[in-house]
Chains A and B, each alone.
Chain A
Amino acid sequence: QKEVEQDPGPLSVPEGAIVSLNCTYSNSAFQYFMWYRQYSRKGPELLMYTYSSGNKEDGRFTAQVDKSSKYISLFIRDSQPSDSATYLCAMSGAGGTSYGKLTFGQGTILTVHP
């Protein structure tokens, strides 16, 4: 079993839809949770960063972390064609040998069509 599971999709939605992306994980030591967006042939771009459980909102993006269920989500409201990309969840532990090391999900390919 992978440490981080993410449905690779692909996910196709119409413009304006609400998109829900999810990851589950098995390592209870993970404390920091991130969502990255990666366009084709580009490096990942940090979208959201959350520490421990809770919600965080930034514009059209909302990140949720439920540590009790080991489940994280990213919601995109009013999705736009420019949101079409691969979305990667990533997480890391609090320190020690896991310091700074990210464990990634497989990535979900999202297409928003006009």
Chain B
Amino acid sequence: GAVVSQHPSWVICKSGTSVKIECRSLDFQATTMFWYRQFPKQSLMLMATSNEGSKATYEQGVEKDKFLINHASLTLSTLTVTSAHPEDSSFYICSANRRKETQYFGPGTRLLVL
């Protein structure tokens, strides 16, 4: 299957700092990538759709100024959690479309904000 990587796999930061998470499609080009958030024992919640060369589309209730998304190339999208607070602690997962209807997911990034 297609490979999507994320970096870092886990990060601990102090409250008020910003954290950047990278998502890369390793063996295919992805014009569209997606960012999800998952709380323990819950399903994935779509945060935003990242489009190469254009602004991201955010889901209702997701603060675009807090979760900055950049999709600068066909293989890389980044999510920056700005001024992180403990309530932002979660499991962040990206995915990329290889074909129109199929998404491949990265391994996830576990964020803990102290």
- What residues make up the interface of A, taking CB atoms closer than 8 Å to B? 31-32, 34, 36, 41-46, 49, 51, 88, 90, 92, 99-102, 104-107
Contacts and interface: CB of A to CB of B under 8 A. Distances in A.
Interface in B14-64: 32, 34, 42-44, 46, 49
Interface residues of B, number: 24
Contact of B101 (A51, A104, A106, A107): A51
B65 to A, nearest CB: 22
B101 A100 contact: yes
B93 interface: yes
Given A34-B102, A46-B1, A102 B46 contact: yes
Interface of B: 1, 4, 6, 32, 34, 42-44, 46, 49, 91, 93, 95, 97, 100-108, 110
Nearest to A31: B101
A46 B102 contact: yes
A104 B110 CA distance: 20
A100 B104 contact: no
Contacts of B6: 43
